[in-house]
Structure 1
Amino acid sequence: MNGPGNGTTTHGMETIKTQVGIVGAGPSGLLLAQMLHLAGIDSVILESRPRSYIENRQRAGVLEHGVVRTLADCGVGARLAREGMVHEGIDIRFGETRHRLDVKALSGGQCVTVYPQHEIVKDLVAARLQTDRPLWFEARVTSLLDLETSRPRIRFEQDGETRELACDFVAGCDGFHGISRPAIPGGRIDSYGRDYPFAWLGILAEAAPASHEVIYAHHKRGFALQSMRSPTVSRLYLQCPVDDDVEQWSDDRIWSELHARFATHDGFRLNEGRIVQKSLTPMRSFVAAPMRHGRLMLAGDAAHIVPPTGAKGLNSAVGDVRVMAAALEAYYRHGDGDLLERYSEIALRRVWKTQRFAASLCTLLHRFHDEPRFHMRMQLAELEQIVEDPRAAELFARNYTGLPFDV
Structure 2
Amino acid sequence: MPRTTVGIIGAGPAGLLLSHLLHRQGIDSTVLERRSRDHVEHRQRAGILEQGTVDVLRASGAAARMDRQGLEHHGIELRFDRRSHRIDFPSRAGGRSVMVYAQTEVVKDLIALRRQDGGTVLFEAEALSVDGARTEHPSIRYRHQGAEHTLDCAYVVACDGFHGIGRRSVPEGGLTVVERDYPFSWLGILADVPPSCEELIYAHHERGFALHSMRSPRVSRLYLQVDPEDTTGDWPDERIWGELETRLAIDGDWTLRRGPITEKSITPMRSFVSEPMRHGRLFLAGDAAHIVPPTGAKGLNLAVADVTLLAQALTRHQAHGDESGLDAYSETALRRVWRAEHFSYTMTTLLHADPAETAFDRALRLSQLRYLASSAAASASLAENYVGFTED
- TM-score interval, smaller chain: over 0.9
Output one character per residue of 1:328-387: Cα deviation in whole Å (capped at 9) or x when no partner. Answer: 011000100011111100000000000000011001000012234222211111111111
Give every structure 1 segment of 4 or more consecutive aligned residues whose post-TM-superposition deviation is greater than 2 Å.
none
| TM norm structure 1 | 0.95
Q: Is residue 263 of structure 2 the alignment partner of residue 306 of structure 1?
A: no
Using the alignment, how far apart are the partners of 2:357 and 2:320 within structure 1?
57
Q: Is residue 19 of structure 2 the alignment partner of residue 33 of structure 1?
A: yes
Cα deviation for residue 236 of structure 1 reads 0.5
Output one character per residue of 1:209-262: Cα deviation in whole Å (capped at 9) or x when no partner. Answer: 110100000101100000001111110000010111110111111111100001
What code does the residue aligned with 2:217 have?
A: P
In structure 2, the partner of 1:147 is: 133
In structure 2, the partner of 1:228 is: 214
Q: Is residue 330 of structure 2 the alignment partner of residue 344 of structure 1?
A: yes
**Unmatched runs of 5 consecutive residues or more in structure 1:** 1-14
Q: Contact conserved, 1:68 with 1:77, CA < 8 A, in 2?
A: yes
Output one character per residue of 1:102-124: Cα deviation in whole Å (capped at 9) or x when no partner. Answer: 11211111011000001000000
Equivalent position SS for 2:95:
coil
Cα deviation for residue 125 of structure 1 reads 0.3
Using the alignment, how far apart are the partners of 1:335 and 1:201 within structure 2?
48
Using the alignment, how far apart are the partners of 1:230 and 1:371 within structure 2?
36
Q: Is residue 262 of structure 2 the alignment partner of residue 251 of structure 1?
A: no
Count of residues in Structure 1 that have an aligned counterpart in Structure 2: 392
Output one character per residue of 1:268-325: Cα deviation in whole Å (capped at 9) or x when no partner. Answer: 2210001111110110000000000010000000000000001100001111111111
Using the alignment, how far apart are the partners of 2:332 and 2:88 within structure 1?
30
Q: Which of 7, 30, 47 is equivalent to 1:44?
A: 30
Equivalent position SS for 1:180:
helix
What code does the residue aligned with 2:189 have?
A: I
Q: Contact conserved, 1:238 with 1:258, CA < 8 A, in 2?
A: yes
The structure-2 alpha-carbon separation of the partners of 1:405 and 1:316, relative to structure 1 and needing over 3 Å to count, comes to: farther
Q: Which of 21, 33, 50 is equivalent to 2:7?
A: 21
**Unmatched runs of 5 consecutive residues or more in structure 2:** none
Q: How does 1:171-182 map to 2 (within 5 A)?
A: 171-182=157-168
Equivalent position SS for 1:213:
coil
Coordinate RMSD, CA, aligned: 0.9
| TM norm structure 2 | 0.99
Percent identical: 51
Using the alignment, how far apart are the partners of 1:387 and 1:80 within structure 2?
31
Using the alignment, how far apart are the partners of 1:166 and 1:91 within structure 2?
50
Q: Is residue 94 of structure 2 the alignment partner of residue 128 of structure 1?
A: no
Q: Is residue 262 of structure 2 the alignment partner of residue 262 of structure 1?
A: no
Cα deviation for residue 405 of structure 1 reads 7.0
Using the alignment, how far apart are the partners of 1:403 and 1:36 within structure 2?
25
Q: Is residue 143 of structure 2 the alignment partner of residue 157 of structure 1?
A: yes
In structure 1, the partner of 2:53 is: 67
What code does the residue aligned with 1:399 have?
A: N
Equivalent position SS for 2:263:
strand
Using the alignment, how far apart are the partners of 2:61 and 2:241 within structure 1?
41
Using the alignment, how far apart are the partners of 2:195 and 2:360 within structure 1?
33
In structure 2, the partner of 1:373 is: 359
In structure 2, the partner of 1:5 is: none
Using the alignment, how far apart are the partners of 1:245 and 1:138 within structure 2?
29
In structure 1, the partner of 2:87 is: 101
Using the alignment, how far apart are the partners of 1:365 and 1:135 within structure 2?
40
In structure 2, the partner of 1:7 is: none
Equivalent position SS for 1:266:
coil
Equivalent position SS for 2:165:
coil
Cα deviation for residue 60 of structure 1 reads 1.1
Q: Is residue 46 of structure 2 the alignment partner of residue 78 of structure 1?
A: no
Q: Which of 285, 296, 303 is equivalent to 1:317?
A: 303
Using the alignment, how far apart are the partners of 2:327 and 2:357 within structure 1?
46
Equivalent position SS for 1:109:
coil
